[in-house]
Amino acid sequence: MSKSFHCFPLPRCYIRFIRKVNEKKGADGQDEIRKAFDFMLGYVGADMASGPVWMEYITFLKSLPAQTAQEESIRMTAIRKTYQKAIITPTHHVEQLWREYENFENSVSRQLAKGLVSEYQPKYNSARAVYREQKKYVDEIDYNMLAVPPTGSFKEEQQWMAWKRFLTFEKGNPQRIDSVSSNKRIIFTYEQCLMYLYHYQDVWYDYATWHAKSGSIDSAIKVFQRALKALPDSDTLKYAYAELEESRGAIQPARKIYESLLGDGVNATALAHIQFIRFLRRNEGVEAARKYFLDARKSPDCSYHVYVAYALIAFCLDKDSKIAHNIFEAGLKRFMHEPVYILEYADFLSRLNDERNIRALFERALSSLPPEESVEVWKRYIQFEQTYGDLASMLKVEQRRKEALSRTGEDGASALESSLQDVVSRYSFMDLWPCSSKDLDHLARQEWLAKNINKKAEKSAVSNGPATLDKIPAGLASNSNVSGKVIYPDTSQTRLEFHLAQQRLGSRLLLTHCRILLDWHPMYLMRC
């Protein structure tokens, strides 16, 4: 038996129960059984494994007594319509159902059968072709999978991809049926998928979005509501739901969703505050956003992100640079110790072309930040001087940075020396460098060697003796008691990462990235 018969023991048990309860109630009982079949097939009749249920329904209809010619006509019409629905549904039993349908029509009237069979033959052929194609996707699905939160296992990822492929196939409407019938199949496939991927946010989102794009906003809302019952802690789905409500002009429902993200306001995340401020600015205006920001910043958990976000709203949307400046200044009293806040403030001042205050900001920040946390601020200060300053100020800041950061490492005085890397950094712009990528490669290796050669030499001298240092870089020699031959590892991947980094990063970040790579692969030095 195919593994896609997964869901049919339950519906068939339901039918058996209904038949047992109603089989002795005469015409009323038969009518209840027929309604039960119609109800069930309305939900699961599109499944590939529904063939036996269609056949059971037809058998039931054939067994109904007909006392008059009119009752017989009604019975035959019901059987015919059921057959015609079954033979255009891609199921495992579609070929058997077609043969039975042909026999049924011929048993009623050979003359009438010829026209009806000719009419439905192309529809049956299409259903059979789609079934064969659909089966390829269904066979990849494990219907024994439990609906548990994703763990990232390979099997789970395989099943996620299998369902995605199956949904894409159904959305393509391969049978070219009417949109109502096609949408019904897609809904059924999504519902099946959620039986197994119940805890997958993206599946819920895709389902709701598909409804919205199909013009059924109410259905999309119901899906989001179900999704949040399944995953009540998913902020992502809440934002998506609020977005849908806002996009259709339902501002109050959207506001309630945002308020659910904020909770009691005490433990609200910075992101929730920011997104609610943006929502208020879009829908209720400048004053509502300002009022909420003033309340939010009183919270002890309010982070610097909220200040930055609202300052940028005031500057970019409200075109009020004075208020934005005041917000950044107010935040500086609380977040002077946050390098990222300093850099965001500096970016804002750069947009104002406020050279004097940018320098003042960097000086204030660097006087209070510990050296180990000031690296990025120093980098931005140097970039600023390279853009706005003269040569003397540029060299002065570079030297100050070296002096400040030399105290954080083991290099000591050697870190204060000028090097060619400084020139490369000073005369680079974006992804343009004053030397070739090969030169950058060489300079980076030299910088690493200069910082590590002494301590490597000490370790190597202990194990291999001083003679080894004359032949190969210290610390990279193999144990002389084993072999005097140097083994060169494959570092092609490291080289690739290095050159990709050259394309992505500015020279200062590039050299840092290179040092990290060299720390991973010290033998990389031996390749040149």
Which structural domains are found in the chain, ordered by start?
A: 8-139 (1.25.40.10), 263-328 (no CATH)
pLDDT in tens, 434-473: 999 899 888 888 878 877 765 554 454 444 444 433 333 3
Which tens digits make up the pLDDT trace of 347-392?
999 999 999 999 999 999 999 999 889 999 999 999 999 988 899 9
Question: Which residues are paired to 432 by β-bridges?
Answer: 429
* Calpha distance 471→136 (Å, rounded): 63
In sequence order, the 6+-apart residues with CB closer than 8 A to the CB of 23 are: 29, 33
340 CB-near residues (< 8 Å, 6+ apart): 304, 376
Distance between CA 373 and CA 405 in Å, rounded?
10
Average pLDDT score over the chain:
84
For the question of whether the overall pTM of this predicted structure is more than 0.85, the answer is: no
Half-sphere exposure of 458 (CA within 13 A, CB side): 3
Q: What is the pLDDT of residue 415?
A: 57
Distance of CA 476 to the CA centre of its chain: 43
Express as a percent the part of the chain with pLDDT over 90: 64
Given a cut of 70, whether residue 508 has pLDDT beyond it is no
CB 477 within 8 A of CB 464: yes
Distance between CA atoms of 27 and 375, rounded to whole angstroms?
86
pLDDT bracket for residue 235 (50, 70, 90): very high
What DSSP character marks residue 409?
Answer: S
Which pLDDT score, from 0 to 100, does residue 485 have? 39
Q: Summarize the confidence of residues 98-106 as an average pLDDT.
A: 95
Handedness of CA 98, 99, 105, 106 (dihedral sign): positive
Cα dihedral sign, 460-465-467-471 = negative
Angle among Cα 183, 54, 134 to the nearest 5 degrees reads: 50
Sign of CA dihedral 390, 392, 398, 403: negative
